[in-house]
Amino acid sequence: MNRLDGRKNDEIRNIRIIRDYTKYAEGSVLIEMGDTKVLCNASIEDRVPPFLKNSGTGWITAEYSMLPRSTHQRKVRESSRGKVDGRTQEIQRLIGRALRSVINLDALGERTIWIDCDVIQADGGTRTASITGAFVAMADALYKLYRQKLIDKIPIKSFVSAVSVGILNGENILDLCYEEDSNAQVDMNIVMTDKGEFVEVQGTGEEFPFTKEQLYDLLELGEKGNRMLIDAQKRALGQISDLILGTKPQVVIATSNSHKLEEIGKILKDFDLEILSMKDVGLNGIEIDENGATFEENALIKAREVANRTGKITIADDSGLMVDAIGGKPGIYSSRFAGENATDKENNEKLLKMLSNVNMSQRTARFVSCIAVVFPNNEEFTVRGTIEGKIGFEEKGSNGFGYDPLFIVDKYNKTFGELPGEVKNKISHRANALEKMKQEFEKRFK
Ligand SMILES: O=c1nc[nH]c2c1ncn2[C@H]1C[C@H](O)[C@@H](COP(=O)(O)OP(=O)(O)OP(=O)(O)O)O1
Ligand SMILES: [Mg+2]
């Protein structure tokens, strides 16, 4: 069957989760599922309803509302009508139940999390989108409490999301839009955790009762949809997701240079990170056009490309040698100094030749390493490290790579080729850049 928007039966609509959407709420998320858009805000209040007073336990409650012009025809505001209708009540209770099911309310302490879901555009599945978005808003709000050290861990037991499934013209379909929903014979909302458990199943076959077999098939489809939604939540939450799940953040080192991979990996050892190579993420050998005008631009080009392809935190390095006597060359062209596929040896020979008439005092140079870090939510930063030295008259030592045998480190009067790797990794341009990166990470990971 061809669906209205060309989707396959088991495909969800395009999902977009935008965090920090408004500025006052502790957690604020705009979730879009196709044309359905819901603003989900989570607010923390330092008290609980009377029935929980002095119990040490927290509470989560939700309100849901549709803006007047979220639908085809204007809908009177419930506040103007003076009462909340049955559908609204039913939905807000559903949202509250779904979120409470995954929170350890004891660990929350005597606090209430208010969840406000306001539908700004409705195209089917507003209650399910509300749950999926509200979970992210709630996680953000709880993370704030955690950062303020008001709670010692985020009291989330599982992720939770919701999706609709249904039977339309005899076929099982996932994530119905409004028009599909209004014509469906069977209509079901499925709320699930990341462990594949059901929190709630609401299914009706008003005109067309359904069989147990059909129910099983629909549950399976719902499971598939929820898995994709929880992936999207994890992506949107980034590091917070790792904190909740107790998993190590995965970081991809986007380099085709095995020496760099080794150096960066060693320097990052004291971080609680899972380091992945290009090979680990199946991107070994991809070509990235380093056409930027600066080290920073090139590092960002590499990191963005791999972050986009993997959805993981990505680190890239763009580095090179700058020699004063030749106006800072080879600079960003260091790896292709003697031609597009030049070897280290060819590059070194070319450099020695260009400097053959330059005496030692004029052979000052520095290595530059620019490290770019790109996060799945498109946040990014760059840092730069350098080390000063001089270019020798001949290659010395066989440690390291690239221009290392020619680069005499001021402090040691030895080349990087002669110095042991441990020494290089403590003082190099890359070590300096990574130290700055570490400071940036500490701001984000603690
Ligand atoms: O510690 C170093 N010791 C010696 N030479 C170095 C160093 N750090 C950078 N260099 C030189 C090697 C290469 O000629 C160029 C980097 O070029 P650059 O494009 O950043 O790296 P790349 O192409 O080898 O790997 P990739 O771009 O996949 O990360 O600077
Ligand atoms: Mg390169």
Residues 268 and 417 in one domain: yes
Q: Quick one: 140 and 256 in the same domain?
A: no
User: What residues pair up with 370 in beta bridges, in sequence order?
Assistant: 318, 384
Look at residue 218 and tell me if it is in a domain: no
Mean pLDDT of 102-131: 97
Query: 318 near 299, Cβ under 8 Å?
Result: yes
Domain final position from 214, 240, 266 = 240
CB-based burial label for 6 (10 Å; 0-12, 13-18, 19+): exposed
9 domain-assigned: no
Distance between CA atoms of residues 243 and 151, nearest Å: 13
Same domain, 230 and 264: no
**Which token pair is 349?**
């020979």
Give the Å distances, CA to CA, from 114 to 5, 43, 139, 207, 247: 35, 5, 12, 37, 28
150 and 277 co-located in one domain: no
CA atoms within 13 Å, Cβ hemisphere of 25: 25
pLDDT of residue 446 exceeding 80, the answer is no
Same domain as 296, residue 230: no
Residues 383 and 258 occupy one common structural domain: yes
Q: How far is the CA of 195 from the centre of ligand 1 (A)?
A: 43
Tell me the C-alpha to C-alpha distance, in Å, between residue 112 and each of 207, 281, 335. Answer: 41, 41, 58
Residue nearest to atom 22 of ligand 1 (CA): 257
Which residue, judged by its Cα, is nearest atom 17 of ligand 1?
A: 335
How sure is the predictor about 163, in pLDDT bands with cuts at 50, 70 and 90?
very high
- What spacing in Å lies between the alpha carbon of 264 and ligand 1's midpoint? 12
Name the residue with the closest Cα to ligand 1, atom 24.
257
**400 CA: nearest ligand 1 atom:** 3
Say yes or no: 51 and 89 in one domain. Answer: yes
Known binding-site positions:
87, 125-127, 255-260, 289, 318-319, 401-404, 424, 429-430
User: Residue 174 and residue 220: Cα distance in Å, rounded?
Assistant: 10
Q: Answer yes or no: is pLDDT of 264 > 70.
A: yes
ipTM exceeds 0.85: yes
* Per-residue model confidence (pLDDT) at position 233: 97
Average pLDDT, the chain: 95
pLDDT at 377 over 80: no
Instruction: Tell whether 213 is covered by a domain.
Output: no
**What average pLDDT does range 178-188 have in this prediction?**
94
Inside any domain, residue 219? no
Which domain does 281 fall in, by range? 250-445
Query: For residue 254, which ligand has an atom nearest its CA?
Result: 1
pLDDT for 207-234, tens place per residue? 789 999 999 999 999 999 999 999 999 9
Residues 6+ apart with CB under 8 A from 227: 196
Q: How many domains does the chain have?
A: 2
Name the residues annotated as catalytic. 318
Nearest to 139 by CA among 40, 286, 279: 40
Q: Are 296 and 438 part of one and the same domain?
A: yes
Within this chain, do residues 313 and 339 fall inside the same structural domain, yes or no? yes
Residues 23-55: tens digit of each pLDDT: 999 999 999 999 999 999 999 999 999 999 998
For position 387, what pLDDT does the model report? 98
What tokens were used for 312? 């993981």
Asked whether residue 150 falls in the same domain as residue 256, the answer is no
Cα 350 to Cα 63, 266, 337: the distances in Å are 70, 31, 8
Binning pLDDT at 50, 70 and 90, where does residue 266 land? confident
- Number of residues written out for the chain: 446
